[in-house]
Chains A and B, each alone.
Chain A
Amino acid sequence: MTWAVESQRKNYGKALVELGRTRKDIVVLDADLSGSTRTVEFAKAYPERFFNCGIAEQNMMGTAAGLALGGMTVFASTFAVFATGRAYDQVRQSIAYPDLNVKIVASHAGITVGMDGASHQTMEDIALMNAIPNMTVIVPADGPQTYRAVLAVAERPGPAYIRMGRSDVPVITSDKDEFVVGKASVMVDGSDIALVGTGQMVVPCLEAAEMLKQKGISARVINLSTIKPLDTATLIKAARECGAVVTAEEHNIVSGVGTLVAAALAESYPVPMQRVGMQDIFGQSGESDELMKEYGMGTKDVAAAAIKVMERKK
């Protein structure tokens, strides 16, 4: 399959500029990475509503909370590893607990950061943010979906986390798709196995579905773009109708999306499951494609997981 590729970050920058045009309450913060996160687009368009905090992520999150107290809708951006790790306590205590209107939109998440290596490859951010009450957690699959997700969270009060990658990613959603927070989308229908992908792992799921089709296996592909609130209805329906589930995430399988899906299904409709993702080890430097293969997050890995889990179907 071939798709056009687009940057999630560029779409974020575009969405911010669009929002800032009509909404004077939008304020954007960054921590010396505005070129990378693309908040620089907003900074250029509305310099009076952009504040660079320097390399001080904790202070940035605390400041974001204060701006929200003052009635602003705040977008705070940096690399995902720092937004969720370095500033975790500020996010928890100053943003989520007081339920403030701060949107944390972080880039360079996951192993596809590539050459910078393990220090920069967060595979815990979804777990961290998801574990905080009041926090909405969104992992868009591509550029256009990132754009729509940013506009969507701006309309909802309260804290939110949006995860973006570094790389340009295939465009698999359409501008006609509406983005509804909390709603997963079925991208391919199928009845033998459900492949539940998150973020950049939706594409390997789509490709694996094609591979499985050659083998006569009908795979349903779900783009699980909101992690919290979790669309349990769509997941349970898939479990009921397909009888087995593979989850795929560019994240540690410990406390990751697969774990959440497993927990949701276990309480309602347990089926055999297999989780594709980082196997609880730190990554390393390398090209993003190489790393995805190295750590078992490629198309073949998703397809193999599907075949394996189907053997356990009742």
Chain B
Amino acid sequence: MNFPEQKGVHELEAKANLLRRHVIRMIHAAGSGHPGGSLSAADIVTALFFKVMDHSPENVDSVDRDHFILSKGHAAPIYYAALAECGYFPVDELVTLRKLHSRLQGHPSRVKTKGVEMSTGSLGQGLSAANGLALALRMKGLDRRVYCLCGDGEMAEGQIWEAAMFASHYHLDNVICIVDRNGLQIDGRTEDVMSLEPLGDKWQAFGWNVLYMNGNDIGQVLDTLKAAKAHRGSPTVIVAKTVKGKGVSFMENNVGFHGKAPNDKEFEQAMKELGGSV
């Protein structure tokens, strides 16, 4: 199975919506989990898994493929939804999220879940691993990309900037870091908790190629990822402006739904808004 084909924007939008419904269903079934950051990243994850990245369940153990590391591991539901829809494991299994003996851990586990390339959950660590993987690809002469998805609150971790320095020093132009700039973390707005701006300028000062996009506009996401892939000589970061909780009205820009499951009523409304049945 090769995904970098033909899929049009319209089709991808429908796919993103399907993944969003999975996310809501999974978190509702589990009774806990992180809807906000899963929904903000849904369009980016969809573009990557169903169009941009060359990957498949058949070559899951191969190094010679494009790679994805979810540095903001709490967004595991959107990751699992994409993996299931790509055939890494049955879609039916999604509702076992966070349950005892499930393969779908609260945060991604490389050991437990087929398709998960790196165990994450402790924020700030994904980009370093992406760099190492990118370095290995280059040493092996493989022209592949490593996509790393980070949160914006996560930018406060010092390790992110250690990794930023490393990638630029070693000219890791096969690393593409995407920052889900939804403006919220747990204790509130990023700019109230720990100000980040000017975020893009910071990356630029660290030697990165900096791109901006509306991360909830699939057309823009595809164009920007294409430009990122084409860029050579330095690593690329994409600051993706998104809406936390995107697609479910009462979750949008609502810090309360960072890490809370919808109750039965909220579940029904969310599914309705996402154009699905309960």
Contacts and interface: CB of A to CB of B under 8 A. Distances in A.
Interface stretch (B13-21, B94-102, B220-228, B244-252): B94-102
Given A55-B123, A55-B124, A55-B156, A117 B193 contact: no
A161 interface: no
Nearest to B123: A55
A119 B194 contact: no
A119 B100 contact: no
A189 interface: no
A291 B107 CA distance: 16
Residue among A56, A81, A120 with the most chain B CB within 10 A?
A: A56
Interface string A48-59: 000011111011
B32 A32 contact: no
A287 interface: yes
Interface SS, A side = helix
Given A33-B187, A81-B122, A55 B154 contact: yes
Nearest to A33: B186
A35 interface: yes
A233 B160 CA distance: 48
B215 interface: no
Q: For the side of the interface on B, what is the size category? A: 20 to 34
B100 A118 contact: no
B120 interface: yes
A285 B102 contact: yes
Given A32-B187, A55-B156, A56-B157, A285 B100 contact: yes
A117 B109 contact: yes
A307 to B, nearest CB: 27
A52 B187 contact: yes
A56 B156 contact: yes
A54 B154 CA distance: 8
B121 A115 contact: no
Contacts of A88: none
Contacts of B112: 284
A35 B100 contact: no
Nearest to B112: A284
Interface string A242-268: 000000000000000000000000000
B261 to A, nearest CB: 10
A32 B186 contact: yes
A190 interface: no
Contact of A56 (B33, B99, B101, B158): B158
B194 A285 contact: no
Contact of B107 (A32, A33, A86, A117): A117
A287 B31 CA distance: 10
Contacts of A36: 186
A52 B194 contact: yes
Contacts of A120: 106-107, 121
A82 B194 contact: no
Contact of A54 (B100, B106, B107, B193): B193
A116 interface: yes
Given A52-B193, A54-B153, A54-B194, A287 B185 contact: no
Contacts of A18: none
A35 B186 contact: yes
Interface string B31-65: 11100000000000000000000000000000000
Nearest to B108: A119
A118 B193 contact: no
A83 to B, nearest CB: 12
Given A54-B193, A55-B124, A119-B119, A285 B99 contact: yes
A149 B122 CA distance: 28
Nearest to B194: A54
Given A119-B122, A284-B100, A35 B187 contact: yes
Residue among A82, A284, A285 with the most chain B CB within 10 A?
A: A285
A98 to B, nearest CB: 21
B211 interface: no
A285 B156 contact: no
Contacts of B102: 285
A280 interface: no
A58 B124 CA distance: 12
B12 interface: no
Contact of A82 (B97, B105, B122, B185): B122
A294 B100 contact: yes
A120 to B, nearest CB: 6
B217 to A, nearest CB: 27
Contacts of A53: 156, 194
A305 B57 CA distance: 45
Given A54-B194, A285-B100, A290-B100, A119 B120 contact: yes
A54 B121 contact: no
A283 to B, nearest CB: 10
Interface in B52-99: 73, 97-99
Given A54-B193, A115-B30, 4 more contacts: A54-B194, A56-B194, A115-B32, A116-B32
Interface of B: 30-33, 73, 97-102, 104-107, 109, 112, 119-124, 153-154, 156-158, 185-187, 193-194
20 contacts: A32-B187, A32-B193, A33-B186, A35-B186, A55-B123, A55-B124, A55-B153, A55-B156, A56-B156, A56-B157, A56-B158, A114-B32, A115-B32, A116-B121, A117-B106, A119-B121, A285-B97, A286-B100, A290-B100, A294-B100
Which 4 A-B pairs have CB atoms at the shortest separation, nearest pair first?
A: A54-B194, A119-B121, A286-B100, A54-B156
